[in-house]
Structure 1
Amino acid sequence: MANPTDQRLRIAAARADFLSSGHAGDDAVSDVVAASWKRSISAGADLSEVEATYHNDLDTKSRLVRCSEPIIIRLREETADIPLSIALTDGKARILTRWDTDQLIGMMCDRVSFAGGFEYAETGVGTNGVGTVFESGGSIFVVGPEHIHERLQAFACAGAPIRDPLTRRVEGVLDISALTEHSSPLMHSLVRSAALDIERNLLIDRSQCQQALFETFVRFDTRTRNAVIAVGGSVVMANAMVQSLFDPSEQQSIHEHARYLMAQHDRPVDQIELLTGKVVRMRGARIVVGNDIAGLVLELRLISEAASMPAETGAFEDRTLPAVSGRCGGRGYESAASLRAPASPISQGHSPAWRRACDDITEALRYHDALLVMGEHGTGKFSLVAEIYHRVNPGGRSFAIDAADISCDSYVEAEEALKATTVPTLYIFRNIDNLSTDGVERLHAFLETLADIERPAYVAATLSEVNLDSDLPFHDLLIHFQRAVTVPPLRHRAEDLPALVTQVLTNIADRRGVRVSLAAMRVIRCYTWPRNFRQLDEALRAALLRRPVGELQPEDLPGYCHGSARRQLSGIESVERDAIVQALLDADGNRIQAAAALGIARSSLYRKLKSYGITTL
């Protein structure tokens, strides 16, 4: 057996050779450690200063912490005579808690920021018993000079992944650290055994949400012969019938629609048509535990194997009246004769949620029901209602009034048009959730007048669904509507994105034949589009300014398309993000060159890439 001191000297020599030549030597270190060294250098980790990022948004009362605590207490008691530090991290290598059996080891850990709230990913501190576990996917024992960071070489650390029993995803890492002179290979065995015990606790003590979802799925599955799925958080469950009836792409569409239904307020009952033509009826239960939505369990019934092809419809004239200057700072309206033909129709999407919304709007208009159209800003609520209305009533006209105009009493034109009209007319009241109390009273009076006269008039109103739980004045108007339809956001229409991009380019590129490369489309698919169509239109217009003809490339898209930051960026942060994206594009993705061009350390660049969610470059 090799002398530990001699072994550490060989590792130190291998580390020195690696830093000078890029090669770790033949057999001085394991393949896992050698690979970690290479990743650490490529990530730009500073080898002289510990640059662990601090986070103050950790969940220290999570299920993982609760299930780990008794195991760690037992481990601490069993190793009380050995100076150890026992740490638990979350799924992002951030230290949740740390227990010390000795004051000295605690002080040493504090000096290298191995403490609660700090992130110990490889990109910041190099090879270690936390970040390297995430990168390698397995347990590891790192001793002395195996830490590529100089200030960590006084330590030996053993880390093991803690996996969710259902998804097998790494939820966190358990780490045992000691000073090198107090270390033993038994630390590796201890940490692996303790991690397995924590996983058993996770299995026994599943969260109430997961337990409720699992129990409801089993109950549905045992009482029916139909296909059953359960969707909640990162968990997806399906019985054997799902596998036999639907191929993977169909299952993905069903899962996506299930998540859309889960976020709605009404009962989860729906019928969708998949791209393959299969018609599926869904009915089930939304699982709510306390204030949390645990998920959705759905029974799926295959109604039809054949595609129901939509009837061919000719082009129709969009008679939505555009706004012109009016009194009170509001807007008047032009006659229908001055309107132009519509741009490309937007109701031709294939995602189940979008098709469902189109079908519901069509049915409401055919039955002459007053229609409430809900959805996020920029989803195309107004355009979709107007387009479908003119398809249902080719000879009709539409009259749009914005909430701001109603409050300003500049919708008298609507009353005059109502008295004069003899053709079917749709009145679309936009953004009624923005109405003041006075505006609500005026619209209420108008809708009552509309209900009392025998005129061929239709009514629709749009609002943002985020205001449904508010106490805004518009709630007093809901008595005038018979149907409500929710238009899904762009992020729930992954199947439609290529066609939508082509459609937008057709409208704004003025017959130039501009197209989107596969690489640029991947960037578009990865982005969440929080402002929906408006932002997609804005992004493609910006891309056309960079490349007015030909094939749009990833570098032509605005900087925000390359990121997925989970928070709202300030103006300065947005400028910085765009500068980083441009530097990476100029360097063909080489992070070292990009950092040099930006004048920042490589470690700082990597932290910013993570903070801004830049993953496509």
Structure 2
Amino acid sequence: MINEDREWLEGGGERASIARPEIVESWRRSQMSGVNPDDVTIVPGEATRDCKIARVAIPVLSAMADVLIGANTSLLLSAPDGTMLWRWTENSRLKALLDRRSAVVGTRWNEEFMGTNGLGTALETVKPIMINGEEHFSEALHPFTCAGAPIRHPVTRRVAGVLSVTSLVEHASPLMGPTLLKLVREVEEQLYSDSTLRERELLQHFLAERRGNRNAVIAVNEDVVIANRAGAQLPIDHRALWNQVESGCRDGTDVRLDDSQVTGQVRWRTIGYADSVMGLVIVAESDEPQRTGRRPAAEVDSGTTPVWSELPELLRTNAAGSDRVLVTGEVGVGKRALVREAFDGSVKELDCAAAHEVGAERWLAMARSALLDDDGEQDVVLLSHLEALGTLMCRALGGMLDRIPRDRSGLVVAGTWTPCGDADVEPAVRALLDRFTSEPFEVPPLRKRPADVLRRVVDQGPGMPSLSAEAVEQAKSHPWPGNHRQLEEFRRWLSRQNRPVIGVKDLPPRWSQEAARARLTAIQAAEADAIAAALRECDGNKAAAAAKLGISRSSLYRKMREYRLR
């Protein structure tokens, strides 16, 4: 059927394609680039191991490649121009086939040269993708399954390279996608650690200037330019500005800026360090009035995770100067409760998860009334559980937000969003989230706030058992995967115990399993999730789960013991 789709694409006839839309679009791009699916032309590139992505990523990937042994997979790393920089393969048959297809260091894997493939398509679309067998545009690549994802520099957010996990089709596994994304995160974290002091300082000044306003913001030094969406559109020559700084300007007032094409007031300042200038921050202020927060912000030590009592003031600080607030965090961290507390309870809530119950038309009518009917009062509209909306509902809600008059005062729209693990965010959903212009406010999980845990489980008054010193330490270090909901359930469990003191051995049995999972690395956690999902889909049949995962039953049993899965 996939081959029929390819023939339909080449012939231009009428056919409803069964291939995924992103694959068909990649085929179109490959075809327009003149790629011959029967005989691709190998294009050489410059593979230097001295570039930053190679210096940072290769040691990380080499150290973590051991987790892939036995999975019949290969790791491929490319530069931002599509040139393969590094390859790791532990399977001799896979290595020979990759060599035969010229999947070797020093070749370019852009879509325009090789057609649809894990490295090139991820580079072209700048998002993760899985290419299975005949979905590759080149027939020479049909024996392979490739998962590819871009690696973004954490400071500039530019694509620093692309990573692909590749296997033969018969060895493809559901573990490939999660493993790839965890590896990408490990590399991105190392890129940040490897960033120079100048880059980190530039990023911190950029974030501080951007937070809480809708102005165009640019931060620049000799090597890096960081800009928000509005800043990227400014007709400003960043290189010329930095040349002025290098020529001797030591004060922002000395820098000459051609702002004739910029509306609104433009201000700029230099970033100093050790009697030298390490960067320049430019802000083009909007002509539109900035809305202020409802209360002055509290001063909180940014070096520690805040406790719950400090979060409302921090949220108001984040929302100052903006009429849109996005609150994110894990399930059960209290996002809705925080919005209500931060805005004194004067909140009208629209639960997006209820749209399926009341019907899309009725829910949208309620949203239209809350967002577009101006009653002259100070309103905070809370759109909770945005992750529950489908594509069409996101588009409709986004259109309403766009229609709110810019001169309407007193309306603040808050949204809560729970990231769904490693799942890709649909473009319509991302477009909706982008309408919340202030910096997203992330509620820290309970495991990072041990003081809040102790406040709610220690010395709860007469009638409640007390915890032994060892149990208190266990509660402080517990991962609390369910956050506040799990903590409340534990407090209810505690109230039903008949013993006056609860020791470590008396704690709920699942605590040991949750604590063990918290000690897993990112890749191990992803593997444990994939194994658990396969066991659920196979109704506990371990032989079927092992076959689905592409591993032996003995490996499955070993990993189940290692990850304490049942």
TM-score, normalised via structure 1 length: 0.39
TM-score, normalised via structure 2 length: 0.42
